[in-house]
Amino acid sequence: MTFLLAFRNLFRNPRRTLAILLTLALGASALFAFQGFIYGLLNDYKNSTIHSQYGHGQVYPKDYRDTVYQEPWKYWIEEPDELITYLEEQKDIEYVFPRVGFSALLKKDGVTVSGSGQGVKAETERHFFQSLNIEEGEMLTTQERGIILGRGLANALDIKPGQTVDVVVNATDGSISKRNFIVTGIFHSGIQEFDSRIFRIQLPEAQSLLKTDKVESVALGLKSDDRWDHVAKELEESHPELDAIPFNVLDKVYYQHSVDWLNAQFHIIRVIIIGIVLLGIFNTVSTSILERKQEIGNLRANGESVYSVMKLILVEGALLGVIGSLLGIALTYFVITLLLNKAFIMPPGPGQTKDVFVSFQFNWSMFMSTFFISVISAIAASAVAGIKVAKMPIAKALRSH
């Protein structure tokens, strides 16, 4: 009975109801859109990190990354084919990328630059690492003597695709190893340190230069982002001599620290937005109830208790909160997904040199949090104003205009 009466009361004064619903809808819309922006920005940042450098994580020899070795190749993964076969059989793993990393000198026309090389299975990696962003030339795929360079490294050498460069390394047996490569492409990941020192060649060529058949690490591409903990646990249980390290730990300085910084900033902005929204809802709902003093006085004069009046007011507030928040969320989702569905450009984030393409992205947790914040705000505003009017002396309430 109370619910039906509360629902009918919404239509007694359409202008007042519409004003409250618009306030609630605008508040819910602002919260929902802001959360979608934050989620989209962080998600795009995460995908860029995963698909440009690290994969979802990498496998290393036990304690390898926490220790400085004079001859690190002695601790690399021996007989990697066995490990690769095991990883490829795991249902959550889609891609397996064995790699070796090494320091080298790159020489061209009398110019010598130091860099960090990565030996990779390029034909496999090109399907996963789409965010490497080849600016000139083409991606390294099947070219046996091909090499791709970061933009900063290429600028230091003043080199273009199609030109050749000598790569000189200290092999694992202590000898100097040198080989000539043809530049196939120049990439720009947007991370200055990475682009200024990294180059990639084919894994067999790197192993031949270093005179080893070991691999330093194995990067993994998973079928789902949320399966890393499960994959890492199973791997470390079956191969206790290995460590499985997620991408956010591997890139703690540029990714994790940036995400922590952005999250802290966004929490402050979110609190400000929520505060403004709550004040707007409180003001509108409270004003509406205070305008109904005479009506509430009549209810009390007809024998209704304070409890009954408050129950009616709170149910009305809840109904307004539900309808208003659903309208705001639905309108925001419709406008953003249908009219603003393309990513827009943001300036480079901390530690980056490339513009970031950001899109709004939503999930159910955002919907639920926005919905409950709006509904609870409407109920709370109704309670604060309602208790004041419901307890007002009947004679005073009836004389109100």
Per-residue pLDDT of the chain (401 residues; tens, 9 = 90+): 577 766 776 777 777 778 888 888 888 888 888 888 888 888 888 888 888 788 999 999 998 988 888 888 899 998 899 999 999 999 999 999 999 999 999 999 989 999 999 999 999 888 888 777 888 999 999 899 999 999 999 999 999 999 999 999 999 998 999 999 999 999 987 777 788 899 999 999 999 999 999 999 999 999 998 899 999 999 989 999 999 999 888 887 667 777 788 778 778 877 777 777 677 767 776 777 767 777 777 777 777 777 787 787 788 888 888 998 999 999 998 888 877 666 667 776 655 666 667 778 888 888 998 898 888 888 887 787 777 776 777 666 666 55
Let me know whether 113 and 67 are in one domain: yes
Let me know whether 105 and 200 are in one domain: yes
Cα 78 → chain centroid: 35
Query: Contact at 8 Å (CB) between 197 and 230?
Result: no
Residue 339 lies in a domain: yes
Residue 209 structural domain: 63-240
Q: What is the predicted pLDDT for the residue at 181?
A: 96
- Domain end among 211, 240, 269: 240
How many structural domains is the chain composed of? Answer: 2
Q: What is the predicted pLDDT for the residue at 293?
A: 72
Let me know whether 80 and 18 are in one domain: no
Q: How many CB atoms lie within 10 A of CB 310?
A: 18
Of 68, 47, 106, which Cα lies nearest the Cα of 259? 47
Structure tokens at 36: 């979608």
Supply the mean pLDDT for the chain.
84
Q: What is the predicted pLDDT for the residue at 398?
A: 65
- How far are the Cα atoms of 129, 162, 209, 353, 360 from residue 139, in angstroms, in the given order? 10, 13, 21, 21, 30
Let me know whether 298 and 153 are in one domain: no
Provide the pairing of β-strand 164-170 with 176-187. Answer: antiparallel
Structure tokens at 120: 């990779």
* Cβ burial 86-119 (10 Å sphere, 16+ → b, else e): ebeebeebebbbbbbbbebebbbeeeebebbbbb
- Residue 86, φ and ψ in degrees, nearest 5: -60, -45
Let me know whether 85 and 224 are in one domain: yes
Let me know whether 236 and 274 are in one domain: no
H or E element, residue 237: helix 228-238
Q: What is the predicted pLDDT for the residue at 90?
A: 92
Residue 18 lies in a domain: yes
Let me know whether 236 and 260 are in one domain: no
| Rounded Cα gap, residues 9 and 68, in angstroms | 74
Let me know whether 136 and 175 are in one domain: yes
Residue 245 lies in a domain: no
pLDDT tens track for 130-165: 777 888 999 999 899 999 999 999 999 999 999 999
Q: Rounded to 10 degrees, what is the CA torsion of 366, 370, 371, 377?
A: 160
pLDDT tens track for 371-383: 988 888 888 877 8
Residue 82 lies in a domain: yes
Let me know whether 234 and 262 are in one domain: no
- Domain end among 216, 240, 264: 240
Q: How many CB atoms lie within 10 A of CB 121?
A: 16
Amino acid at 73: W
Q: What is the predicted pLDDT for the residue at 291?
A: 72
| Rounded Cα gap, residues 374 and 324, in angstroms | 8
Helical axes 14-49 vs 364-390, angle rounded to 10°: 150
